[in-house]
Structure 1
Amino acid sequence: MFTKITEGVKVSVDTEFQASYSDPAQSHFVFTYKVRIENLSSYTVQLLTRNWNIQDSFAPKRNISGEGVVGVKPIIEPGDSHEYVSGCNLLSELGKMCGSYTFERILNGEKFFVSIPEFVLCVPYRLN
């Protein structure tokens, strides 16, 4: 698991290779990642946007930005958390992702960035 804390918000990411959805002969590798966002601060916060940097061993770097995560802009109370699962397709067996979220403190409308830790996407047989 990969973890990082920024501005009192803890982001943890766990990845999994999806062999049944992948086709190595066609250079199609599917990975899922589960993200847990924990609000360790004393403020209620809302996730507004996401920005991902995706590096594939055999392809140019991609940047993906958008509102919320998987269709929602969660509001997270102090001590609470939000989890979601998403995925990424690569052309190779090995890649990595990192990025950031834009959050807002509900109390005063202050916006701040939260780092998403860099994590590796790797088919299990490449780890040997």
Structure 2
Amino acid sequence: MYKAETRGISVTVTPRFVEEESSPDESRYFFAYTVEITNNGRDKVQLRSRHWRIVDGRGALQEVRGAGVVGKQPVLGPGESFSYTSGCPLPTPNGTMEGTYTMATADGESFEAAIPAFSLDVPHVRRVMH
């Protein structure tokens, strides 16, 4: 489990390798990750957009930007949480992901909430960093 907190917004990520969706002979490795976003602050916030930086085991960077997460732009009051699970295919048995969520307060102020860097690793495969 990986965790970051920005301005009272806690982001926890739990990744896992999905063997049944992977095909190592075809250089396809699929990872799922579950994210829990918790508002530990005093103000209501809305998740507006996401920005991911995905790096495979060869060091190739892919950036992904988009509105919301899994088709939603959740509003979180103080003490509320939102969880979702998504996935990421890689051409290598390991990699990393990190990023930010753009959050907005009720008065229209925007800020970036950190998504912690986390590792994507196939179990029992030696990791080689480039």
Q: What interval of TM-score do these two structures reach, taking the shorter chain for normalisation?
A: over 0.9
- Higher mean C-alpha displacement, 2-11 vs 50-59: 50-59
Gaps of 5+ in 1: none
Cα RMSD of the aligned pairs, angstroms, is 1.2
Q: In the alignment, which residue of structure 2 is the partner of 1:81?
A: 81
TM-score by length of 2: 0.95
Match of 1:116 in 2: 115
The answer to whether the Cα contact below 8 Å between 1:17 and 1:30 also exists between their aligned partners in 2 is yes
The amino acid across from 1:35 in the alignment is: V
Q: Give aligned pairs, total.
A: 127
Distance 1:72 1:28 in 2: 28
2:63 matched residue in structure 1 = 63
Higher mean C-alpha displacement, 26-35 vs 55-64 = 55-64
Identity %: 39
Which 4+ residue blocks in structure 1 deviate beyond 2 angstroms? none
Q: CA deviation at 1:123?
A: 0.4
CA shift digits 1:58-113 (9 cap, x unpaired): 3620000000001000000100100000000000001000000000001x111111
Query: With structure 1 as the length reference, what TM-score do the two structures score?
Result: 0.96
Q: Which consecutive residues of structure 2, in runs of 5 or more, have no partner in the other structure?
A: none
Whole-angstrom CA distance in 2 between matches of 1:13 and 1:127: 22
